[in-house]
Structures are given as structure tokens and as C-alpha cells.
Chains A and B, each alone.
Chain A
């Protein structure tokens, strides 16, 4: 699992929607498809991509398979966000200093 895999997986709007649904709580494949115009094979494929990126985990209980968000995948996203959340305000302070030095 890498950040690149995670961002690639989430670059697809459908996969993003699926991931957001799982963020609300564990679901099975048919619950995930509710309200989405997407076939079962396509859903399986999206889930496979999300799983290989480390964003989603599956759990079998009897005949059912439930899907949930994988916390370590979320942590990788949080690392990216944390980095740039502090980065930009710091850089903009440097921009303010530069603007004071520049000629009109």
C-alpha cells in the first residue's frame, strides 16, 4: 500500500462514493450498490481496487461478505493531509514577507 495507490484508487468518482458509504459504517456489496447505477461485477472490481490500495477490508460471515474502511489506509490519507495543512499557512507567511520586499 502506498499513497500513490490510495490516491489512484480515490481518483475514480464511483470508488470515492463507495469509500464514503463505507465511512458511514460496515456494509455488504448489495447495500453498497443501493442508489448507485452500477452493476454487481463493476462494484466487485471497485472494491478490489479499494482493497488492494489498503483502503477497504472485507470480512466474511457465513454467505455474506461485509466491507469496512481499513484504518491504516485512512491513516495514510491523514498523513498527507496533516503535512499540507501546516505547510500552506507557513508558506503563505513567506509569501507575505516576499510581497513586502517586491517592487510594485
Chain B
């Protein structure tokens, strides 16, 4: 599915798939240990301060993000409430899912949802609700 002016759909989620060289256990730590998450995502989890990464210049730095852990299935998937500290973007939900790939690496999927439900509910949106998924 693509977005265009001719047949625009209602986009509710973006989905990305990546292949990583590292094994799943290592990737899992990078996705869940606050110190590591701060490094690659410039995000802080549950109010911990985000240390800056001196290798990245100010121009390339994305707006700081704060995350709140919603659910986790250890070694497989983790779901965060995603809040931008600057700007007017509403909270959204990010899900990381990892599976072993044949070559000892990791298949890494990111799903970023713009569900308005997170504004009013503490729990993540109902998984069974039909929703559109846009492959990026």
C-alpha cells in the first residue's frame, strides 16, 4: 500500500523490516537496556536522563524522546509509549519485534502506530482491532 493524493488511505501505522548482523540476545539488550536505548535512539526510558552522544552533531540530533514500557515478551518483542519532548506530536506506540535469521543474525521489525487511543487508555490499543499497516 502506498500513500498518494489519488487514493489516500488512512495511515495508522508505519512498519519497517531490517536485517541486523548481531544475534537476537544482543539486539534485545540494545532495545531494552536504558543506557543502550539512549545511545542509538536518543531516547530515555521512564524518565531516565538521556546521555548525549558526542559523535553526533547537533544538526543530526532528533528531538529527544521519552519512552514508557508498555509490554514486553522477553527476547521477542517490546512495546513502548512514545512521546516527543518537543513539538505538538501526540503520543504514539512503537513496537520492536525480533526473530532469529538463518545466518545467526536478527530480523528486526519496527511498527510505529499513531493510535489516538493511547491518549485516553493506559493499556495499549486492542490488538484485534483491524488496522492499516503501511510498509515503509
Bound Cα distance A81, B112 (Å): 10
Binding site for A on B (CB under 8 A): 3, 5, 7-12, 14, 16, 18, 20-23, 26-27, 29-30, 36, 39-42, 56, 62, 88-90, 92, 108, 110, 112, 114-117, 119, 125, 129-132, 134, 136
- Does A41 interact with chain B (Cβ within 8 Å)? no
* Contact between B30 and A11, CB atoms less than 8 A apart: no
Binding site for B on A (CB under 8 A): 2-4, 6-11, 13, 16, 19-20, 23-24, 69, 71, 74, 77-78, 80-81, 83-85, 87-92, 94-99, 102, 104
Minimal Cβ-Cβ distance residue in B for A71: B5
Bound Cα distance A84, B111 (Å): 11
Bound Cα distance A16, B27 (Å): 35
Q: Which residues of A contact B27 (CB under 8 A)?
A: 99
Bound Cα distance A87, B16 (Å): 11
* Contact between A7 and B110, CB atoms less than 8 A apart: no
